[in-house]
Amino acid sequence: MEGKVKRITTRTLAEMKARHEPITMLTAYDYTFARLLDEAGIEVLLVGDSASNVIAGHETTLPITLEQMIYHGSAVVRAAKRAMVVVDMPFGSYQGDSKAALHAAIRIMKESGAHAVKLEGGQAVLDSVRRIVSAGIPVMGHLGLTPQSIYQFGGYRVRAKDPAEAIKLREDARLLAEAGAFALVLEKVPARLAKDLSEHLPIPTIGIGAGPYCDGQVLVLHDMLGLNKDFSPRFLRRYADLAETVKAACTRYFQDVKNRDFPSLEESYE
Ligand code: KIV
């Protein structure tokens, strides 16, 4: 009989940080891809609100709803036999009202079966972090270029380059760890700052555009697979060119049907 696969947990990630083993995280939004990522050994599947961009085609992450995040989350959870599944709390579900935040986090956990939630921001959302953590729900933080604040930032530039913003980010990171967050995403911040935070914070840091010294790395799946050619920031490494592969396959199918090459009699029933 095959042994049961051991689930990655918050404790696994803490142990990985302690022994300096890099943590891998990728975004996932559906069952089919999530199963492949899980089989590839990726430790954390992030059901990112980037679904708003890469799945729904919105310009920002702001429009995606709690119901939509739960829908994507439940598909990913059904696929993940080993990976930990973290679901992003969507814009508007946790800012300003910690009771509403807890209610939203509970809905995500109950209805999707996820293992943790992620939310953006530091001091401003601490009450929500504390309340969610107090209900036994693991919370992943997210600082730096937090896409839900894109209109406040006015663009996708590297964050915390100036000393005042770097001081604020350090303080936010400390407060999140103190409030019980189990890990922290650092997005598009200088590598030196991310290194320092990774060395001094008690919780794992997971970087995206934050250099090589974080405790782990995350990329948006559709970007790293080369499905989205319009997006090519410096930090993105493309591991495949699926856009070309998919287009070539669909073009061949198109031609085969037009030429009556598909289906053949062998591909038909008596
Ligand atoms: O939604 C997302 O994909 C994310 C990653 C960029 C970390 O939050």
Residues 204 and 171 in one domain: yes
Q: pLDDT of 143-185, one tens digit each?
A: 999 999 999 999 999 999 999 999 999 999 999 999 999 999 9
Residue (of 47, 46, 99) closest to 70 by Cα position: 47
Q: Which domain holds residue 250?
A: 241-270
pLDDT band at 85 (very low <50, low <70, confident <90, very high): very high
- In this predicted structure, the answer to whether residue 78 has a pLDDT above a threshold of 80 is yes
- Check: pTM over 0.95? Answer yes or no: yes
pLDDT at 208: 98
5: in domain: no
The answer to whether residue 141 is domain-embedded is yes
- Do 55 and 72 touch, CB atoms closer than 8 A? yes
- Same domain, residue pair 158 and 251: no
Torsion sign, CA atoms 159, 26, 11, 180: positive
Q: Given the residues 59, 120, 187, 199, select the one marked as catalytic.
A: 187
Q: Do 254 and 143 sit in the same domain of this protein? A: no
Q: Does residue 72 share a domain with residue 121?
A: yes
Alpha carbon of 24 to ligand 1 centroid (Å): 13
Residue 138 shares a structural domain with residue 56: yes
Q: Cα(97) to centroid of ligand 1, in Å?
A: 23
CATH code, 103: 3.20.20.60
Same domain, 52 and 148: yes
- State whether the Cα torsion 45-51-53-54 is positive or negative: positive
Q: Which residues line ligand 1 (CB under 6 A)?
A: 27, 46, 48-50, 88, 142, 185, 187, 208, 218, 220
The answer as to whether 4 is a domain residue is: no
Domains in the chain, number: 2
Average pLDDT over residues 5-11: 97
